[in-house]
Amino acid sequence: MKDNNQLFNIIEPKNELKKSIIGKIKALEMRNTINMVVFSSFISLASIASIVVFVINIINDASKSGLSQYLSLLFSDGKLIASYWQTYVLSVVESLPIIPIAIVVASISIFVWSLNKFLENIKIQSRYFIRLN
């Protein structure tokens, strides 16, 4: 019968093999980090572009819908606004370009998320460069 110690001996890999495995794992982690940096920077740029496009769209739609006239009424005739405030608020809400505003808010949140991921991955990548040097 074999000794129990012989059954559970852990075979250590050769030192070169261990270094090779760890090196490949680090290379894969580095490649994944670089891919995430590229992906998050692309998403950041796309969200900035959509923010610019839809802010311009909001400005154009607001001028076409007469939102500026409603807002100028707010500063010119306060008594009228105070007496008919419910109708005034509903008219302002109706003239707002809601969908472009929602898209801008979503684009801003996507930009903040992607910027956060970008900075996290840059931080991880800088740790790898510090270790290598």
pLDDT of residue 9: 66
Greater pLDDT, 26 or 77: 26
CA distance 83 to 88: 9
pLDDT at residue 85 greater than cutoff 90? no
pLDDT of residue 34: 87
Tokens describing residue 69: 């006239």
Domain ranges of the chain: 14-132
CB 54 within 8 A of CB 107: yes
CB 21 within 8 A of CB 102: no
Residues 6+ apart with CB under 8 A from 121: 33, 36, 37, 40
pLDDT of residue 106: 96
pLDDT of residue 6: 61
**Span 9-24, average pLDDT:** 79
pLDDT at residue 13 greater than cutoff 80? no
Tokens describing residue 46: 């796309």
Position 130 confidence tier, pLDDT thresholds 50, 70, 90: low
Residue 66, number of CB atoms within 10 A of its CB: 13
Position 4 confidence tier, pLDDT thresholds 50, 70, 90: low
pLDDT at residue 62 greater than cutoff 80? yes
Averaged confidence pLDDT in the chain: 84
pLDDT of residue 73: 83
pLDDT at residue 8 greater than cutoff 90? no
